[in-house]
Amino acid sequence: MKIYISADIEGVAGIAHWNECDKSKEDYKKFAEQMTLEVKAACEGAIQAGANEIWVKDAHASARNIDHSMLPKNTKLIRGWSRHPYGMMQEIDSSFDASLLIGYHSYASSAGNLLAHTMSGQFQSIKINGMLLSEFLISTYTSNLERVPVVFLSGDESICKVGREFSNNITTVATFKGIGESAIGEHPTVIIEKIQENVILALKNDITKCNVIMPNSFKVEIEYKKPSTAYRNSFYPGMKQVSDTKIVFETNAYFEVLRMFVFTLNS
Ligand SMILES: [Zn+2]
């Protein structure tokens, strides 16, 4: 069994401040270690369920957060960004049996995590086919584009709820509950144990039940914080500007959504 893991940091146990996500800050070290330990737990659970090959995408900021030396030897770690449109799911292909998402967080405009965002801080909100777009949903569609089901999600309680509403059979582990600018969480070691136990359960279930049917068309509505960003990105081929801060992109191919994000992000 070949497993793909995509990992972020804004949804690891107890994280509650941007300094804890920022490599240049002292507060970061503890949470980068927790991210590594949560990924390690997912790897160990996967191995206990029969995985013999695991690829891990470090998918936060510079993508140089996870300490590979702490992961099992049968793991490959993808550090940095190739800028392939698959982004947080770089190198996923149909040779994988299942995907696991670790440390994921609520979408831009959500109250469920004080670190809530989607891809970058420039978006007020993004919708796809009317649903508020989270990185969970982006990665889930990307995985399913390669016919690989996402069977497990860990992150804040709110994104776990989003995950279960979207995909009935996904297994989730909530790492904390966000309220206002606070995070309420269990002991980090308890979370690590839950991740390992639940990854085993997720992979021993019928993983085909986590397959998602891809929509035939995609309408992406992007609301920026700054009008100047909306104006600039309105020139992307096929993009329509509908207000000072909002642009809309429609396509039948999900890959075109991902390609559009590569060229309209980070500006
Ligand atoms: Zn992140």
Domain holding 63: CATH number? 3.40.50.10780
Residue 129 included in any domain: no
Claim to verify: residue 259 and residue 192 sit in the same structural domain: no
Dump the DSSP string for 58-97: E-STTS--S-GGGS-TTEEEE-S----TTGGGTT--TT-S
CA of 211 to the centre of ligand 1 (A): 25
- Please state the separation of Cα 173 from the chain's center in Å: 14
Task: Say how many C-beta atoms besides its own lie within 10 A of residue 146's C-beta.
Answer: 15
- Kindly report, residue by residue over 116-144, the tens digit of the pLDDT: 999 988 889 999 999 999 999 999 999 99
CA of 47 to the centre of ligand 1 (A): 26
Claim to verify: residue 75 and residue 147 sit in the same structural domain: yes
Residue 130 included in any domain: no
Q: Which residues surround ligand 1, an ion (CB under 5 A)?
A: 8, 10, 60
CA of 218 to the centre of ligand 1 (A): 25
Task: Find residue 24's DSSP bridge partners.
Answer: none
DSSP state at residue 213: P
Residue 179, C-beta contacts closer than 8 angstroms, at least 6 positions apart = none
CA of 199 to the centre of ligand 1 (A): 21
- Kindly report, residue by residue over 53-85, the tens digit of the pLDDT: 999 999 999 999 999 999 999 999 999 999 999
CA of 16 to the centre of ligand 1 (A): 13
CA of 6 to the centre of ligand 1 (A): 11
pLDDT value of position 121: 84
Determine the structural domain holding residue 76 and report its residue range. Answer: 2-119+135-210
Domain count for the chain: 2
Residue 124 included in any domain: no
CA of 79 to the centre of ligand 1 (A): 14
CA of 9 to the centre of ligand 1 (A): 5
Residue 152 included in any domain: yes
CA of 193 to the centre of ligand 1 (A): 22
Residue 225 included in any domain: yes
pLDDT value of position 120: 86
As a whole number of angstroms, the distance between CA 167 and CA 210 comes to 7
CA of 157 to the centre of ligand 1 (A): 16
pLDDT value of position 216: 97
Classify 186 as helix, strand or coil: coil
CA of 125 to the centre of ligand 1 (A): 16
Claim to verify: residue 206 and residue 231 sit in the same structural domain: no
Claim to verify: residue 256 and residue 143 sit in the same structural domain: no
